[in-house]
Amino acid sequence: GENVEQHPSTLSVQEGDSAVIKCTYSDSASNYFPWYKQELGKRPQLIIDIRSNVGEKKDQRIAVTLNKTAKHFSLHITETQPEDSAVYFCAARNTSGTYKYIFGTGTRLKVLA
Amino acid sequence: SAVISQKPSRDICQRGTSLTIQCQVDSQVTMMFWYRQQPGQSLTLIATANQGSEATYESGFVIDKFPISRPNLTFSTLTVSNMSPEDSSIYLCSVGTSAKNEKLFFGSGTQLSVL
């Protein structure tokens, strides 16, 4: 079935360093890839997204890259800050029926001050 | 973005009882979804709430256990029936804000604990 793999499951970085989270999807019909940030006890928040006709998208310290051929997409956070500490989820949305999302397993990011 | 109100925010329930969770959106949306997030886990789609027709359930979820209503384009309910401790989880409603369900936004969630 459709699947989204996400790595790593946990990631610790020093404040100011960069963090990279990677996802791989299986459904070649997927064409929209959002990233969500979930702080403890809060709802998932959409932080950035990319469509399959775009290779890269940036929003300040956050960027997402997509390799459609390899079915890989990645989240890059530069100049990390303690408030970036959270669980991050990638997702892939298919193009059939109800346009369902398949979520990755999540990455717990800790930014050490 | 859509403003999504979900209630209750949390509840502690006895085994064998049922709980109905409400989700209200501040604008009309075509697609509403219900997700479950077990402790420390990812988001699993329970069902798509269809306005005017029966919900579409994902593999592993059935209507008798998770009946869903969608009376209009701004409101939906999810009932967790005949609860057991394994149902302890966070339940989230979500809405897509475009025709192709892009920009998925989540309600604040319902933290359910079953004793």
DSSP state of B85: G
Taking only residues 8 to 37 of chain A, the set having a beta carbon closer than 8 angstroms to any beta carbon of chain B reads 32, 34
Residue B23: band (very low, low, confident or very high) from pLDDT cuts 50, 70, 90: very high
pLDDT at A48: 97
Q: How far is CA A93 from CA A50, A102, B17, B33, in A?
A: 11, 6, 35, 14
Do B43 and A89 lie within an 8 Å CB cutoff? yes
Give the largest CA-CA distance in chain A: 45
pLDDT tens across B25-56, in order? 999 988 899 999 998 899 999 999 988 888 99
| Phi then psi dihedrals of residue B87, to 5 deg | -85, -5
**Pairing between β-strand A101-103 and β-strand A86-93 as defined by DSSP bridges:** antiparallel
User: What percent of chain A shows pLDDT beyond 90?
Assistant: 85
Do A34 and B104 lie within an 8 Å CB cutoff? yes
Distance between CA atoms of residues A4 and A2, nearest Å: 7
For residue A60, give both structure tokens: 């300040």
How far A26 CA sits from the closest chain B CA (Å)? 17
B58 neighbors A103 (Cβ within 8 angstroms): no
Residue A73: band (very low, low, confident or very high) from pLDDT cuts 50, 70, 90: very high
